[in-house]
Amino acid sequence: MRIVSTIAEARGAVRALRTNGRSIGLVPTMGALHAGHVSLVRAAREQCDAVVVSIFVNPTQFGPNEDFAKYPRTWDADCALLESEGVDLILAPIATEMYPAGASTFVEVEGVSDRLDGASRPGHFRGVSTVVAKLFHIVSPDKAFFGQKDAAQVAVLRKMVRDLNFDLELVVCPTVREADGLALSSRNRYLSVEERRQALVLSRALQRVEERVAQGVLDAATLIDDALAVLASEPGIRLDYFKVVDPDTLEDVADVRNSALAAIAVFVGPTRLIDNAVIAPPR
Ligand code: AMP
């Protein structure tokens, strides 16, 4: 496994991996790796000849009062994990490589970037789409792997790939959860034992919605009321949003007759957690 920190080295290393028409899979991450990230790496291994993982805590996707400085950085453990997973190349650029002094070009996917997390975190998706577009240009992957856990990010990046004609396939992998339902997240490391318990209310609320849909409840307002009732059972948390939306546009839907996304964000103590469920109505 090779580790590179400059874009020039990355381009050279990718060229070497691509010989004899070998396909390249890219897994963009911010490090602090867990089993969710590993699931993307394994999917990339299965579907591509060579796997590139980027580790970059991207400053432009954090708001001024967010956790950029304290975001968990577990470099040695990340490298050991990726080595054991058979990754070919880690691209771990320093910030000035990705954003050279004076850089003033950004990618903005209008509309969809202002919904769900984009509404709560202004500028977040501009940072995400800019850094992912840069990684796509540097690595030119055949496939890029993202988690369903970040459903709004998937909607933004799908649209970016289409609108800007990126010649790659975006592969979305299912959310990996702990046995008790909590979606894995690098930010789960912030949680105290009590907050970890409170955080289970996210998956409980989504489960309730799935049960209600299975019973034939298709009206979005009713499903939201049901989810809010579950969330109210955990007064220690603060709701950011619970929405039922179209998975591509992230706009509110009135009912879930077509496939829809139930998406939630809450603050557990100071930690903001997200989760979602793809709603497929019973036939
Ligand atoms: P991050 O390091 O948080 O930027 O995440 C890197 C990639 O891993 C993103 O595509 C995430 O959606 C994905 N990811 C994060 N958590 C999970 C999870 N629990 N299950 C599946 N994918 C995940």
pLDDT over 80 (residue 185)? yes
Residue 19 pLDDT > 80, yes or no?
Answer: yes
pLDDT at 282 over 90: no
How does the average pLDDT of the chain come out, rounded? 97
What pLDDT sits at residue 5?
Answer: 97
What's the gap in Å between 37 CA and the centre of ligand 1? Answer: 6
* Ligand 1 pocket list (CB less than 6 A): 29-30, 36-37, 39-40, 146-147, 149-150, 173, 175-176, 183-186
* pLDDT for res 188: 98
Q: Read off the pTM.
A: 0.98
Q: Ligand 1, atom 11: nearest CA belongs to which residue? A: 147
Neighbour tally for 204: CB within 10 Å? 17
Q: Are 18 and 49 in contact (CB under 8 A)?
A: no
Give strand pairing partners of 245: 252, 261
The topology under which CATH files domain 2-173 is Rossmann fold (3.40.50)
Tens-digit pLDDT profile for residues 96-154: 999 999 999 999 999 999 999 999 999 999 999 999 999 999 999 999 999 999 999 99
Query: Which residue do the tokens 């100071």 mark?
Result: 270
For residue 37, indicate whether it is catalytic: yes
Q: What is the pLDDT of residue 283?
A: 72
pLDDT in tens, 44-99: 999 999 999 999 999 999 999 999 999 999 999 999 999 999 999 999 999 999 99
What would the pLDDT profile of 226-267 be if each residue is shown by its tens digit? 999 999 999 999 999 999 999 999 999 999 999 899 999 999
Domain spans of the chain, in order of start: 2-173, 186-276
Query: Candidates 3.40.50.1370, 3.40.50.620, 3.30.70.270, 3.30.1300.10; correct CATH number of 186-276?
Result: 3.30.1300.10
Looking at residue 192, its amino acid is S
What mean pLDDT is predicted for residues 157-163? 98
Contact 117, 124 (CB under 8 A): yes
